[in-house]
Structure 1
Amino acid sequence: MLLRTENDTQDFAYRLAKELQPNDVLTLEGQLGVGKTTFTKGLAKGLDVKRNISSPTFTIVKEYRGRLPLYHMDVYRLENSMEDIGFDDYFFGNGITVIEWASFVEDFLPKERLDITLCYTGNDNQREITLTPFGEHFEQVVKALS
């Protein structure tokens, strides 16, 4: 699916947020600057988070309160690390976990999750988004967004 603007990216994430439930884990992959944090801002709006969303690059995890808690992780700094920062507390807590650069902590990821990849298309702000569901719940989520 093509997302033509930043607003399209946020709107798509907003719609996705309405389909989520506690304990859902979303992974975000894509090059630097492709829109992972922009996506998370839209997701936060859909979860009724009132605070400004920024990348947790240097803190690794930022927590936000909304209709459901939002746990926003950027695990880029954990590349080549087998450090478990208490992932299970987030994955099996009562909120939504979003993990940027999730491939760096693949061994810790739950089996049921929604993998999201954002790619540049070469056309200005346009991005391509790919959703890969793992588990029946996420298959239903993807179907609802189609």
Structure 2
Amino acid sequence: MSRTIHSLLAEPFHRFVSRDPQETREWGQQFARHLVAGDVVCLYGELGAGKTCLTQGIVAGLGVGARVPVRSPSFTFVREYRGRERILHWDLYRLRSSEEVEELGWRESFDGNAIVLIEWADRVSSLLPQRRWDITLTMISENIRHLEARRFQAAP
């Protein structure tokens, strides 16, 4: 697993196959160890693809204890967690317009003081920062997921 994460950090593109939800969470925990405040992780995939499962792993890897439930903030859009860094978890599944997130402090999320996780990031593609991770989860079967992680750097 750590060889996989090491190659992820060294390369701008990486693929991983998860055989069950626990493996998805473990991958997220390993990935999280390399995130710092200011990092943005955008999650893509159809309903049930494992975005929240991956988010649970990332949040756990950032030091949020198991007693803190990590659920998608589908109705509030954003939830904050405190681990070794401040974490903002956005879920845009129910978003009707980009104005909704603007009213909730969207722009302030990217001030460099938090790690930002965004489920359903495709709903606000024009509002995403250039420097970010895009992770796409694809359902292969009931338990198997294909994860593709791509790192984007800000334009010079």
Report the TM-score when normalising by structure 1: 0.87
Partner of 1:108: 127
Partner of 1:53: 70
Shift of 1:78: 1.7
8 Å Cα contact 1:78-1:105 kept in structure 2: no
8 Å Cα contact 1:64-1:71 kept in structure 2: yes
Identical-residue share of aligned pairs (%) = 41
Q: Residue deviations 1:68-95, cap 9 Å, x none? A: 111110112224x131232221122411
* Structure 1 residue runs without a partner (length 5+): 137-146
- Alpha-carbon separation, structure 2, partners of 1:31 and 1:63: 24
* Structure 2 residue runs without a partner (length 5+): 1-15
Q: Residue deviations 1:96-122, cap 9 Å, x none? A: 110011011111110000000000113
- Alpha-carbon separation, structure 2, partners of 1:8 and 1:100: 19
**RMSD (CA atoms):** 1.3
| Match status 1:121 vs 2:136 | no
Q: What is the aligned residue count?
A: 134
Match of 1:30 among 41, 45, 51: 45
Partner of 1:12: 27
Partner of 2:12: none
Partner of 2:98: 82
Q: Residue deviations 1:10-51, cap 9 Å, x none? A: 111001100111111000011111111110110011111121
8 Å Cα contact 1:27-1:102 kept in structure 2: yes
Q: Secondary structure at the match of 2:74?
A: coil
Partner of 1:68: 85
Shift of 1:135: 1.3
Q: Secondary structure at the match of 2:136?
A: strand
8 Å Cα contact 1:28-1:100 kept in structure 2: yes
